[in-house]
A = this chain, B = another copy of it.
Amino acid sequence: MRKFTANEIAAAQNHIAQTPPENIDPRIENLVNELIGRVADKWTMIVLDILAEKGEMRFTRLGELAGGISQKMLTQTLRQMERDGLVIRTVHPVVPPKVEYRLTELGMSLGAAFCGVWIWASNNLDRVEQARQSFDQKAAKS
C-alpha cells in the first residue's frame, strides 16, 4: 500500500487542499532543498573548506587534514563533489598513483557562500554552549 506523507494526511484530515507556502515554484523549492541536503553534509563542508584554503591537494593529505575521515567516506564525498561539479579530479598516470583534487569555480563560490556559516559558528560557539547549559539545567530540574 502506498505511503502518505504527514502533509497528505494532515490535508486529508482537514478536508482541504493544502495551500502552497509561497507562490514560487515548489519544484524549485524541492530542488533547492535537495541540493542543500546534499551539500550541507559534514564532510562535504570540511573538504570544501580545506580545498578552499589550501588549494590543490592529494587524496591522502586531504584525509589527514580532514581529521578522522575514513578512506571510504573520503572517496565517497569527493566523488559526489566531483559529480556535482564542485571539484576537479586530476589523475597523473604514474606509479604509485597520484591524484589531485581542486575546487572548480562553482566549488569556490559555494565555499564563499559557506563562509558566512563558518564565521557565524566561530563567533557564536560560546553563545550556543551557554544556551545548552542553561537548557540542560532547566531540564534537570523537572
Q: Which residues of A contact B (CB under 8 A)?
A: 1, 5-7, 10, 18, 21, 28, 30-33, 35-37, 39-42, 45-46, 50, 54, 60, 63-65, 67-71, 82-85, 96, 98, 106, 109-110, 112-122, 124-125, 127-128, 130-132, 135-136
Given contacts A60-B10, A122-B28, contact A132 B85 (CB under 8 A): yes
Given contacts A21-B65, A113-B120, A114-B117, contact A33 B7 (CB under 8 A): no
Interface SS of chain A: helix
State the number of copies, please: 2
Provide the bound-state CA to CA distance between A106 and B117, in Å. Answer: 12
Provide the bound-state CA to CA distance between A131 and B105, in Å. Answer: 12
